[in-house]
């Protein structure tokens, strides 16, 4: 039986231009209307996720910063699992490194983040990895931003911590995503779906790959799951 859903946002319930898919939202609301909990999981900030969750109509359980922080609902206290001090140290080294090349890193929402550091994909990811290879920091390329995160922290680890607080287990969840940063989430969930635009790594481990991409693929996958479960 389908007990709960966890889903990525960018590339999953959006279109290729990052515009929210009304088709995806309509399908999500079908589940919400059936009383099925929906958790949003993203690399973005909690305040962003809070707004999106309210507009969609969920109960406000969200995972932000690629698992670095989560909350059980709109009134829930943010649970921080990442160590941002490690990420900031690595970021300072990167700023110095690229400044020597005349490149300025473009950070995202620095003052709104609890656990990670995110910046624009204006520099080579491989070079970022190389410059901080000796530091205990994980580099995550979501396709939309480069994130620095504590090793071992992911959307999957956050789901493992969040699920019991909702009286569920990770295996009770259907997970949907499109990028490598969704990998651990799909692996720990009871059933994993990726879209036609999903990454090669996700397609190797997903239980179902949709024929359609982006928001339309999301709706296709969810409706298929409703029939299965």
What are the structure tokens assigned to 172, written together? 């009770």
What pLDDT, on a 0 to 100 scale, did the predictor assign at position 204? Answer: 98
Positions of CATH 3.40.50.1000 in the chain:
4-80+153-228
How far is the CA of 128 from the CAs of 94, 150, 169, in angstroms?
7, 15, 36
Answer CATH for 84-149 from 3.40.50.620, 3.40.50.300, 3.40.50.1100, 3.90.1070.10: 3.90.1070.10
209 three-class SS = strand
Residue 190: burial class (beta carbons within 10 Å; 0-12, 13-18, 19+): middle
Radius of gyration of the chain (CA): 17
Strands across the sheet containing 173-177: 79-80, 69-71, 62-64, 38-41, 4-7, 173-177, 191-194, 208-209
Q: Which residues are catalytic?
A: 8
Q: What is the dihedral of CA 222, 160, 198, 4, to 10 degrees?
A: 0
| Cβ–Cβ under 8 Å, residues 139 and 146 | yes
Q: Taking the model in full, what pTM does it have? A: 0.96
Where helices occur in the chain by DSSP H, the ranges are 22-33, 46-56, 84-99, 125-131, 155-162, 183-188, 200-205, 214-228
What pLDDT, on a 0 to 100 scale, did the predictor assign at position 137? Answer: 97
What pLDDT, on a 0 to 100 scale, did the predictor assign at position 171? Answer: 97
CATH architecture entry for 4-80+153-228? 3-Layer(aba) Sandwich (3.40)
**How many alpha carbons fall within 13 Å on the CB side of residue 46?**
22
What pLDDT, on a 0 to 100 scale, did the predictor assign at position 40? Answer: 98
pLDDT values of the chain reduced to their tens digit, one per residue, 229 residues: 789 999 999 999 999 999 999 999 999 999 999 999 999 999 999 999 999 999 999 999 999 999 999 999 999 999 999 899 999 999 999 999 999 999 999 999 999 999 999 999 999 999 999 999 999 999 999 999 999 999 999 999 999 999 999 999 999 999 999 999 999 999 999 999 999 999 999 999 999 999 999 999 999 999 998 888 8
């Amino acid at each position: 039986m389908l007990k709960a859903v966890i889903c990525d946002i960018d590339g999953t319930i959006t279109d290729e231009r990052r515009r929210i898919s009304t088709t995806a939202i309509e399908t999500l609301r079908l589940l919400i209307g059936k009383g099925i909990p929906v958790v949003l999981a993203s690399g973005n900030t909690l305040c962003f996720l809070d707004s999106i969750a309210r507009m969609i109509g969920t109960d406000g359980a969200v995972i932000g910063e690629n698992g670095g922080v989560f909350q059980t609902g709109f009134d829930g206290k943010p649970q921080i699992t990442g160590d941002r001090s490690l990420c900031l140290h690595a970021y300072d080294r990167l700023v110095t490194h690229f400044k020597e090349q005349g490149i300025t890193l473009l950070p995202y929402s620095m003052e709104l983040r609890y656990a990670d550091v995110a910046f624009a994909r204006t520099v080579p990811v491989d070079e970022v990895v190389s410059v901080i290879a000796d530091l205990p920091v994980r580099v995550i390329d979501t396709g939309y931003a480069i994130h620095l995160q504590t090793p071992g922290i992911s959307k999957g680890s956050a789901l493992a911590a969040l699920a019991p607080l909702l009286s569920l287990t990770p295996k009770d969840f259907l997970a949907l995503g499109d990028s490598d940063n969704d990998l651990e989430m799909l692996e720990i969930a009871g059933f994993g779906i990726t879209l036609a635009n999903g990454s090669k790594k996700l397609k190797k481990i997903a239980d179902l790959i949709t024929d359609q991409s982006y928001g339309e693929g999301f709706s296709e996958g969810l409706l298929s799951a409703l029939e299965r479960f």
